[in-house]
Amino acid sequence: MSCFEKKLKKRRQKFKSKNTREDRLRSRVNLTINLSRKLREQTLQKKRNINTSSDQTILELTDEQIEEEVQNIPNYINKMINGNIDEQYTSTQRIRVLLSIEKDPPINEILEHNGILTTLVKFLDYDNHQRLQFEAAWSLTNIAAGLTEHTRMVINAGSLPAFSRLIISKNESIQEQSIWAIGNIAGDCAEFRDKVIENGVVFNLINIIESNPRIEILKSTTWALCNICRAKPHPELKDPNALISVLIGLLDFQDIKVVSDSCWSLCYLADGQPDVIEYVVDQDICPKMVNFLKYPSPIINTPALRFLGNIVTGTDEQTQTVLNCGVLPILFELLIQGNTLNRKEVCWTLSNICAGSPEQIQAVIDQKFVPLVIEILKKDTYAVRKEAAWTISNLVYMGNVKQMIYLINNGAIDIFCDLLSLNDVKILNSCLESLTKILKLGDFFAKMSENQVNRCAQKIDEVGGIEKIDLLYKHQNVLLSKTSKYILDKYFPNYVTENYSEEED
Amino acid sequence: MSEELTQILLDAQSTDQEKRNQGMERIKSAKDNNLPVFLVLLAEELKSEEKPNESRQLAGIILKNTFVSKDEQKKIELANVWCNFKEDVRTEIKQILVMTLGSPNRIARHTSAQVIGAIGSIEYLKDLWPALFSDLIGYMNEETQKGSENIQEGVLTCIGYIAEELAEIEELPNVNEILEAISDGMTSENSNDELKLSATTALYNSLEFFESAFGKPQIRDHLMKAMINAAKNQNQKVSQKGLECLVKIAYVDYNSLENFIEDIYEITMKAMTCDNDLLALQSVEFWNTVCEEEEEINELILEEEQDNRVGKKYIQAVSENLVPNLCQLLTFQDEFEDSGWGVAQAATVSLSLISNLIENQITDLTIQFISDNIVHTEWNHKEAGIICLSSILEGTDTDQLQKVIDDALPLLLDYLEDDHEKVRNSSAYAIGRIFEYHFEAVAINTEVLENSIGALLNSLLDVPHVASNAAWALNNLAEANDYTNEETSPLSSFFMPIVEKLSVATLREDGEKSNLRFQAYEAISTTFLKSAQDTLDDMLLAVSPLLERLEATFSMELLSSNDEILQSQIQGSLCGVLQFMSVRLDKQIEEYAERLINCFLQVFKNPEAVVHEEAMMAIDSLINALGTGFLKYLEVVHPYFIGGINSYKQERLCSLTTNAVGDLFKTIEREIPQKCHSEYVDVFLEAISSEELENEVKPDMILVFGDIALSICGEFEPYLERVTETLEHASSVEYTEEDNDQINYIQNLQRSVLETYSGIIQGLKDDQKEELFLNYCQSIIEFLVRIHDTEEDFIDDKMLKAAAGLIGDILSILGNQVKEAFQIQPIQELVNACANSEKKSVAEVGKWALSRLL
């Protein structure tokens, strides 16, 4: 029977079809085998004795159960406020279970009751009832993880002093829970982050790290610190160097998540902060960061790259420190093989190195970056091309004559004329400036040659650059228009600008 | 001599019985006497224009049947008989036959075409006549020039037959030459209808071979036009064949429809409203095929798989006009036949295919037809309305249909008592479909639910196919919700009546008709499996009568093969019912355990293999229900377990037995006699290394070692070396190709190995023999690194969990002795990935392992 005939036959069986003997048997076989898989799982689970005590009450609630529980909220809250300690515990736990529902937890239904937050915060002080303390901390964490207004309410209820104290609690479950709460609050916005800092949290978090804690605690602590460092404006720390030293110490840790969070924290702290940059460079962490670039996952190599990018925005000496670690060959590899984000960061880093001394620019050229960057300018995604454009224009702008000639010979004129079609005023401006510099050099050579021809101007004409410059001349941005006019007047006096009838002032 | 043969052939078709027998007898003895000579004579007879039609035709048929059989084995033997003839004999016969293809006598040339179809395909497949097609076409062209048109028809008919015979092979030579001959026959101005029909038939039979030619737009468009013209032909036979070609091309090469879909749309819409059923049927079939293709394309898109078909959503575009036509065709149903395939059936399937494609949009297109017809006084309209409703249920959302169902369900319940059997049948079916897809729409109204159950229970007394649909509807009702964890359910109060009435239905004399008995038992099973806790007491009461029924099957009188089939079916169904009862009743089943075991084991005496699987599952459910209580039956069951594991050819039985033995060790710790476990280890090791056993079963067998080790703990020591050797071997299997089956198998295998190691070390630890495990850590580390290094796609959550679980087990138990060796990056990464899983149960194991690793 051909495939086609089988298909026809199968179609005929669809008429008023019901399950066949084979269907039923197969479903029964599956049922049998699944039952026994479950049994095996349970046996091993039992033997392993995995401590899941803190998670025991994560119940899978059905929709009906949720509805029922939501009805019960007033009742629970009443017991939390007025009940005895056992009732307070069980009711808080029910509330926490509701707040732990993954999809749309009934936060509003709970918060509309007066006194719920102050009660929860009060429970944070119940050192003699740690189970209740833990449930309260968990509930507040989940509320703080909601909208900004929810987070604000948690702060206003006075929870921060309590959490700041509980993050050094001897009870690890409570400690971990409180660290999460702090991390959630600090991660919301700079305003809350500052409040967290005001409560002396950073000092306590540093102490936790120095006390050599369990890996879970260490992980949540670095995560919370990372959230504290992230938001702009930069956090105002009493003793930033103490934090930085601890973070640097964590870079040697074995856990990838801890290392990653520490790296990011250092990144955020160093971003645009000359003091911090100076301090970290003095601490000699550049070799380590350069080494991290080789790590095969963006979890590590991206923050390391961003960190080094921050350093090279500093002084030429600081940039040189990074270059001395042999960063260029690694950047070269990353630019070829890295993901989009990393390619963009590499270009950004390069553009900053190229804003440095002629020796530093020469190092970039010697590493054969130019053809690669030009290649990227031709076909990479917009975000990467933008950074690459800065790299190449900085090269021209900062480069010496020899370096400029090298660039021109490697197709820089084509690429600048290409870039003139981009829609980004800053880049356009820098391209025009670069072209101006190139044309000036062309002029210089023209005067020395026999035929007095500016080869660079000729080249711009060949690749259709004039028309593009002419267009920019009509751009509404004054600077662009001015520079364009300058170029046209000075280097292309014979070019007659096209008149657009609709052209306006 | 030749007159004599003519007479014999005529005698063999005589109305006079005696003459006929004589004729047949003489033909047989002539065959036995000298087959080659006789065949040449037969061929000559077929060729002789002066002979009567009857003798010529029979001569051809005898000749053909000498080499043709429906039985595959026999077919090969007969083909060998022909091939073993001397070449000159074969050549002579073939020459005579080919010459007959141009005979002015239609019967003669068609018969000859048939014979060449048989012999030619045999020779072609054996490479004895590689130039078959060019010979035929060459001869045709030669003769056509002499002015004979018959030869064209004869040869094309013959090519049609050959293509049909060769359907299994991949490609034909001389495709262009053949296509040219066919398209010439279809389109030439001189072609008469006969010739067009044979050419179109040849095209239909050989379409698959022209796939590559369809890649060339010129050829494709030419052929598409030829098919469309054939479909438009006034001659009904040509037109039907033309439509069949279009149906087939939609399947063979969906892309070719693009330029012609409008023409085809017009032709098929016209044919659906003409008086000719056959043309209407092919038109529906065309759109059915397009539906199936587009469904498949959509699925492939969903799975992000490559496909060269470009989905055009033709159905979406035509549905507005197509659906009303299909609805009309529903009223052309046959009054008595349900099993045939006519326009009404095809249109029913069509509507459900379309509803799956355009989903909720089907409601608007059909709602008027349903409401007009479902209350119609004529039965065929009424039934068409019901069937239309049942066809659109699968693709639509419940809230879309709430009102339709609210209106229709009371009517359907009434119609369960309609005078017309077909109306009752379709109503029961429609109710079943509503329960299957839109139970919530019914469940919100207790009164409707109550009425539905009452009406369906009554219908169990109706004729078998109505009763069978009613039983199926009750099955779907039970299936719709799982109440096992509930104290009670809306169905609880109907539990006993449903079970009782269904049990009565299973005992009906005519129960084998329309699968009634099977459907009724299935409904009972499902009702037991999903019912709420307050039904368990009643369920316990039902064990005894059902068990007696199973016992009674062993003394059934088996007078015919039908009786044997009946016995197997009943045993299979009852094993299924009792299995689910054990699952639900758990320890309470204990008082019947001995009788149940005896019954299940007796089922193994049935020669029918499928029921052994049912029995094995039933035994497995008893193991789980009884726990240690099963131990006293182990001695009698043990041989059946060993037998099941050793039945390599019955893959599913083998796998179910493996599962049962695994459950045995999981539920009974330490108490299984030593001679038993050593035997299980032996047979499993042998099975895993056997090439006769399908690979798919092996991972499960490996897992059983883990179960055994966990159960017998330190007593596993004697097996340790042999088992770990097998594990190491299994862990070294590597991916060789991108084949889903293989990927699946290796994933299962690797996971099994990991879990089994976990079982072994945990078991050893219980008797303080964990030091023995130190020998295997190095190879486990290497294995973990190999897993880490495989493609990321192959490492799913389950794999991570098994890996992290094993790492955690080893480090918890052996601690500092091995810790350093495990603190390497690949292992770190595996554990980290597991700890970061989005699945909570997986992340939990990962975190635990992480805490041991650091």
Question: How confident is the model over B504-562, as pLDDT tens digits?
Answer: 999 999 999 999 999 999 999 999 999 999 999 999 999 999 999 999 999 998 889 88
Cβ atoms of B201 and B113 within 8 Å: the answer is no
Nearest neighbour of B617 by CB, restricted to A4, A28, A214: A28
* Residue A44 CB partners (closer than 8 Å, separation 6+): B710, B755, B758, B759, B762, B805
Cβ atoms of A330 and A342 within 8 Å: the answer is no
What tens digit of pLDDT does each residue of A310-354 get? 999 999 999 999 999 999 999 999 998 888 888 989 999 999 999
Please give the interface size between A and B, counted as residue pairs whose CB atoms are below 8 Å apart: 124
Phi, psi dihedrals of residue B531, rounded to the nearest 5°: -75, 165
Phi, psi dihedrals of residue B185, rounded to the nearest 5°: -65, -35
What whole-number distance in Å separates Cα of residue B638 and Cα of residue B464? 42
Q: Which of residues 46-105 of A touch B (CB under 8 A)?
A: 47-48, 50-52, 55, 58
* Contact across the interface for B854 and A255, Cβ inside 8 Å: yes
* Residue B8 CB partners (closer than 8 Å, separation 6+): B23, B26, B27, B30
What whole-number distance in Å separates Cα of residue B136 and Cα of residue B151? 10
Tell me how close the Cα of B49 comes to any Cα of chain A, in angstroms: 36
What whole-number distance in Å separates Cα of residue B654 and Cα of residue B142? 63
What whole-number distance in Å separates Cα of residue B215 and Cα of residue B253? 9
B4/B320: higher pLDDT:
B320
**Interface confidence (ipTM) of the complex:** 0.80
pLDDT at B198 over 80: yes
Cβ atoms of B477 and B531 within 8 Å: the answer is no
Nearest CA in chain B to A297: B829
pLDDT at B592 over 80: yes
Tell me which chain A residues have a C-beta less than 8 angstroms from the C-beta of B851: 214-216
Tell me how close the Cα of B216 comes to any Cα of chain A, in angstroms: 22
Residues, chain B: 854
Q: How far is CA A485 from CA A432, A481, A505, in A?
A: 11, 6, 15
- Cβ–Cβ contacts within 10 Å for residue B617, how many? 29
* Residue B480 CB partners (closer than 8 Å, separation 6+): B435, B436, B439, B443
Residue B216 — pLDDT band, cuts 50, 70, 90?
A: confident
Nearest neighbour of B248 by CB, restricted to A4, A25, A36: A4
B381/A216: higher pLDDT:
B381
Q: Does A478 lie at the interface with B, CB-CB under 8 angstroms?
A: no
Residue with tokens 């349903």: B370
Find, among A219, A127, A207, the residue nearest to A168 by Cα: A207
Which of B254, B431, B524, B844 is the mutation pick for testing A, counting most A CBs within 10 A? Answer: B844
What whole-number distance in Å separates Cα of residue A133 and Cα of residue A173? 10
pLDDT of residue B84: 92
Tell me which chain B residues have a C-beta less than 8 angstroms from the C-beta of A257: 832, 836
* Contact across the interface for A44 and B518, Cβ inside 8 Å: no
pLDDT at B196 over 90: yes
Tell me which chain B residues have a C-beta less than 8 angstroms from the C-beta of A25: 572, 610, 613-614
Nearest neighbour of A15 by CB, restricted to B349, B828, B850: B349
Cβ atoms of B117 and B165 within 8 Å: the answer is yes
Nearest CA in chain A to B763: A47
Instruction: Flag the least confident range among A451-460, B406-415, B798-807.
Output: A451-460
What whole-number distance in Å separates Cα of residue B676 and Cα of residue B672? 7
Nearest CA in chain B to A51: B848
* Contact across the interface for B840 and A32, Cβ inside 8 Å: no
pLDDT of residue A52: 47
CA angle B851, B852, B854 (to 5 degrees): 70
Nearest neighbour of B617 by CB, restricted to A29, A43, A55: A29
* Contact across the interface for B610 and A25, Cβ inside 8 Å: yes
* Contact across the interface for A29 and B252, Cβ inside 8 Å: no
Tell me how close the Cα of A31 comes to any Cα of chain B, in angstroms: 10
Amino acid letter, B660: A
Find, among B82, B202, B200, B201, the residue nearest to B136 by Cα: B202
Tell me how close the Cα of A239 comes to any Cα of chain B, in angstroms: 31
Nearest CA in chain B to A16: B429
B124's tokens: 């072609």
A199's tokens: 């409560």
Nearest neighbour of B288 by CB, restricted to A11, A19, A255: A11
Tell me how close the Cα of B106 comes to any Cα of chain A, in angstroms: 28
What whole-number distance in Å separates Cα of residue B541 and Cα of residue B535? 10
Instruction: Flag the least confident range among A82-91, B48-57, B752-761, B775-784.
Output: A82-91
- Cβ–Cβ contacts within 10 Å for residue B458, how many? 15
What whole-number distance in Å separates Cα of residue B273 and Cα of residue B268? 9
Nearest neighbour of A48 by CB, restricted to B349, B659, B809: B809
How many C-alpha atoms does B234 have within 13 Å on its Cβ side? 1
Find, among B475, B421, B486, the residue nearest to B453 by Cα: B475
Residue with tokens 């862990």: B731
* Contact across the interface for B522 and A39, Cβ inside 8 Å: no
Cα R_g (chain A), whole angstroms? 32
Tell me which chain B residues have a C-beta less than 8 angstroms from the C-beta of A15: 341, 345, 348-349
Tell me which chain A residues have a C-beta less than 8 angstroms from the C-beta of B840: 55, 58
* DSSP code at position B592: G
* Contact across the interface for B762 and A28, Cβ inside 8 Å: no
Averaged pLDDT for residues B578-590: 95
pLDDT of residue A61: 65
pLDDT of residue A425: 85
What tens digit of pLDDT does each residue of B612-658 get? 999 999 999 999 999 999 999 999 999 999 999 999 999 999 999 99
Tell me which chain B residues have a C-beta less than 8 angstroms from the C-beta of A51: 848
* Contact across the interface for B613 and A21, Cβ inside 8 Å: no
Tell me how close the Cα of A264 comes to any Cα of chain B, in angstroms: 19
How many C-alpha atoms does B228 have within 13 Å on its Cβ side? 18
Nearest CA in chain B to A48: B809
Q: Does A2 lie at the interface with B, CB-CB under 8 angstroms?
A: yes
Nearest CA in chain A to B804: A48
What whole-number distance in Å separates Cα of residue A289 and Cα of residue A262? 11
* Residue A133 CB partners (closer than 8 Å, separation 6+): A123, A124, A125, A126, A127, A166, A171, A174
Find, among B187, B208, B300, B284, the residue nearest to B243 by Cα: B284
* Contact across the interface for A47 and B168, Cβ inside 8 Å: no
What tens digit of pLDDT does each residue of A349-407 get? 999 999 889 899 999 999 999 999 998 988 888 888 888 999 998 998 888 888 988 99
Nearest CA in chain A to B811: A48
Cβ atoms of B518 and B543 within 8 Å: the answer is no
Nearest CA in chain A to B831: A255
Q: Is B836 helix (H, G, I), strand (E, B) or coil?
A: coil
Residue numbers in chain A where pLDDT is lower than 50:
52-59, 500-505
What's the whole-model pTM score? 0.66
Cβ atoms of B457 and B497 within 8 Å: the answer is yes
Residue with tokens 């410059």: A469
Averaged pLDDT for residues B660-688: 93
* Contact across the interface for B518 and A11, Cβ inside 8 Å: no
Which of B171, B341, B765 is the mutation pick for testing A, counting most A CBs within 10 A? Answer: B341
How many C-alpha atoms does B351 have within 13 Å on its Cβ side? 33
* Contact across the interface for A39 and B666, Cβ inside 8 Å: yes
Query: Which range, A327-341, B132-146, B693-707, has the best average confidence (pLDDT)?
Result: B693-707
The mean predicted confidence, pLDDT, of chain B is 92
* Contact across the interface for A55 and B762, Cβ inside 8 Å: no
What whole-number distance in Å separates Cα of residue A348 and Cα of residue A391? 7
pLDDT at B301 over 90: no
* Contact across the interface for B624 and A39, Cβ inside 8 Å: yes
Q: Is A199 helix (H, G, I), strand (E, B) or coil?
A: coil
What whole-number distance in Å separates Cα of residue A189 and Cα of residue A228? 9
What whole-number distance in Å separates Cα of residue A282 and Cα of residue A285? 8
Cβ atoms of B385 and B346 within 8 Å: the answer is no
- Cβ–Cβ contacts within 10 Å for residue A237, how many? 16
Find, among B83, B72, B81, B193, the residue nearest to B128 by Cα: B83
Nearest neighbour of B251 by CB, restricted to A4, A16, A32: A4
Tell me which chain B residues have a C-beta less than 8 angstroms from the C-beta of A11: 288, 292, 349
Q: Does A254 lie at the interface with B, CB-CB under 8 angstroms?
A: yes
CA A407 to chain centre: 34
Q: Does A10 lie at the interface with B, CB-CB under 8 angstroms?
A: no
* Contact across the interface for B762 and A51, Cβ inside 8 Å: no
pLDDT of residue A49: 67
What whole-number distance in Å separates Cα of residue B97 and Cα of residue A389? 81
Tell me how close the Cα of B147 comes to any Cα of chain A, in angstroms: 37
Q: Does A13 lie at the interface with B, CB-CB under 8 angstroms?
A: no
Nearest neighbour of B850 by CB, restricted to A35, A48, A215: A215
Element (H, E) at B744: helix B740-766
Tell me which chain B residues have a C-beta less than 8 angstroms from the C-beta of A1: 167
